[in-house]
Structures are given as structure tokens and as C-alpha cells.
Amino acid sequence: MRYLILLALLLAAPAGAQLYEDQLEPAELGIEELAATVVPPSVYVGPEACRPCHEAAYVKWLGSKHARTSVWLHTRMARTLIAPRHGIKASSPEKSAVCLGCHGTGVDAPAAYRDPGFRIREGVSCEKCHGPGADHVRDPKIDLRRPAETFCAENCHRPKESHAVVGAKPFSFATFYPKISHLEPKQDQ
Ligand code: HEC
Ligand code: HEC
Ligand code: HEC
């Protein structure tokens, strides 16, 4: 419910009150605190590019919290309770590569590796888990990563003292995976 209220507030914001990420073209996006860029294996294209072939996965993702994770960085909780305990130096959480490292996708990629359709505000999107998808979109025979069970806890869902205020239950793959699972029905052949 909190997320719906937050989204409603963001949508109701006066024209011109854009999110930080919206004010910049991906090519211009500079993330404060980014020490170095990492050249990824392919270009990030954003979830809309996956949708034509993976509609069910797209719909499941869009309804999940992963699609909201960058929006959370604009909240008062992020700014006043979590950021100070995390010791970030950036002027605000949504400009911090530290926060966006978990709450966003491909933030450390050089600008040339972000397609114009890619938006950081889309949060933990397909390519966070599967890797950048431009080559696969062009030729689906080029496989993307299938993340292993350990991927979630190793990368983002580890205990964080800074996040105590969130009050999240300790991460359990068995409990949480069904909330985002998007395996496709097997084709009979
Ligand atoms: C290591 C990964 C990681 C980093 C770094 C990180 N977060 Fe998070 N954040 C998470 C995860 C995972 C959750 C979901 C709750 C949980 O499991 O703790 C979360 C939840 C949140 C929420 C909760 C939203 C809600 O209402 O439930 C806020 C706000 C937030 N983070 C802000 C921040 C800010 C601000 C920073 C940077 C100072 C940051 N996070 C850095 C992984 C991270
Ligand atoms: C939070 C991580 C995460 C996100 C975000 C995510 N996926 Fe996945 N995806 C997984 C995992 C984990 C699997 C299961 C891998 C396995 O069991 O082999 C998977 C499997 C898949 C599969 C294989 C399905 C099958 O039946 O074998 C496809 C296709 C896929 N994802 C597409 C997408 C698309 C498209 C998006 C965005 C709209 C997306 N995923 C977002 C983690 C993620
Ligand atoms: C043009 C259609 C098309 C688009 C666009 C597309 N895929 Fe796929 N995808 C496929 C097909 C077909 C397969 C099955 C390939 C196979 O079985 O070898 C597949 C398989 C996958 C798998 C399972 C692992 C693998 O590679 O076999 C994942 C994960 C996946 N896609 C994710 C994505 C993501 C993420 C995007 C967006 C960046 C995306 N796909 C865009 C057609 C597409």
C-alpha cells in the first residue's frame, strides 16, 4: 500500500518535478560516487525490449517490488534514515552509485553501453539478474545468464545494518523466490 501511495504522489507531482534520472539522457547520466565504470558484455536495453517475446515475465516483474527499487531512493526514509547510516557521500541517495548498485541496473556501465530506451528508474530490472541483453534481443540463440540460487544473497539480499529500519525479514530464497518466479510453461514438442 505504501508503494501505491508513493507512486500516486510521484505521478501527482507538478509538471516539471521530474526524478533525477529523468532529467538526463542515459548518455549524460553521471552517478555521484561512481569510482570507475565497468565494461559489460553487451548493451543494456531495458525491460520494454524484452516484453515482445517474454510478456508473462514482463508483467510479473512490473508488479513486483523490483520494479520500484529506484523510486524508493527518493523517499524520506532513504534520505534521513538509511543514507546516513550507510555513510554515503553523494548529495542524495538517488545520485549515489552505492545505493543504485543494489537498487538500480547497470549504473556502472559506460554511457555507450546504455541504449536510449534504458531507464535507471526502472530499478532492479531484467538485466540486473540476466545481464545486459542487446545481443540476445538481436539473436535469442545467444544465451543470457540464468542466476543461481546464491545470486540474490550474494549481490543484494544480505544483512545490512543500515537497513534495520526497513524491518525486512531475513532473506530466504525458498520463501521469496516464488514471489518473482517467472518460469515459462514448457512447450510440447
Ligand atoms: C547491498 C545491497 C543494497 C544497498 C547497497 C542498498 N540497499 Fe536499500 N535495499 C536493499 C534490499 C535487498 C532491500 C529490501 C529489504 C531488505 O531486504 O533489506 C532494500 C530496501 C530499501 C528501502 C526500503 C523500501 C521499503 O519501504 O520497504 C529503502 C528506502 C532503501 N533500501 C534505501 C537505500 C539507500 C538510501 C541506500 C544507499 C545508502 C541503499 N538502500 C543501499 C539492498 C540494498
Ligand atoms: C531479481 C532477478 C530477476 C529479474 C529482475 C528477472 N529475472 Fe528472469 N529469471 C530469474 C531467475 C532466478 C530465473 C530462473 C533461472 C532458472 O531456474 O534456470 C529466471 C528465469 C528467466 C527466464 C527463463 C524462463 C524459463 O522458463 O526457463 C526468462 C525468459 C526470464 N527469466 C526473463 C526475464 C525477463 C524478460 C525479465 C524482466 C521483465 C526478468 N526475467 C527479470 C531472475 C530474474
Ligand atoms: C526476439 C525475441 C526475444 C527477445 C526480444 C528477448 N528474448 Fe529472451 N529468449 C527468447 C527465446 C526464443 C528464448 C529461448 C532460447 C533458447 O531456448 O535457446 C529466450 C530465452 C531467454 C532466457 C533463458 C536463458 C537463455 O538464454 O536461454 C532468458 C533469461 C531471457 N531470454 C531473457 C531475456 C531478457 C532479459 C530480454 C530483454 C533484454 C530478452 N530475453 C529478450 C527470445 C527473446
The mean pLDDT value for 124-145 works out to 98
Residue 57 CB neighbour total at 10 angstroms: 19
| 18 part of a folded domain | no
Question: Does residue 146 belong to any structural domain of this protein?
Answer: yes
Compute the average pLDDT of residues 119-146.
96
Task: Tell me what pLDDT residue 120 has.
Answer: 84
Strands (E), the chain: none
Q: Return the higher-pLDDT residue of 72 and 15.
A: 72
Mutate to test the pocket of ligand 3, among 136, 181, 187, 189 (most ligand atoms within 8 A of CB): 136
The residue to mutate among 43, 53, 151, having the most atoms of ligand 3 within 8 angstroms of its beta carbon, is 53
54 lines ligand 2 (CB under 6 A): yes
- Higher per-residue pLDDT: 8 or 99: 99
In a domain, 114, yes or no: yes
Q: Give percent of the chain above pLDDT 90.
A: 69
Q: For position 2, what pLDDT does the model report?
A: 60
pLDDT of amino acid 185: 77
Is residue 130 over pLDDT 50?
Answer: yes
Q: Residue 5 domain-assigned?
A: no
Where does residue 170 rank: exposed (0-12), middle (13-18), buried (19+ CB within 10 A)?
Answer: exposed
Q: Is residue 41 part of a domain?
A: yes
Into how many domains does the chain fold?
Answer: 1
Residue ranges making up the domain that contains 59 = 26-180
For residues 26 and 83, which has the higher predicted lDDT (pLDDT)? 83
User: What is the model's pLDDT at position 13?
Assistant: 47
Is 83 domain-assigned?
yes
Instruction: Give the HSE-up count for residue 80: Cα atoms under 13 Å, Cβ half-sphere.
Output: 3
| Ligand 3 mean position, distance from CA 69 (Å) | 23
Ligand 3 mean position, distance from CA 10 (Å): 32
Protein residue with its CA nearest to atom 30 in ligand 1: 78
In a domain, 133, yes or no: yes
Tell whether the model's pLDDT for residue 6 goes beyond 70: no
Q: What is the mean pLDDT of the chain?
A: 88
Is residue 48 in some structural domain?
A: yes
Instruction: Using alpha carbons only, give the angle 56, 61, 24 rounded to the nearest 5 degrees.
Output: 125
Cell numbers that stand for 78 in this block: 532513504
Closest alpha carbon to 116 in 27, 7, 14: 27
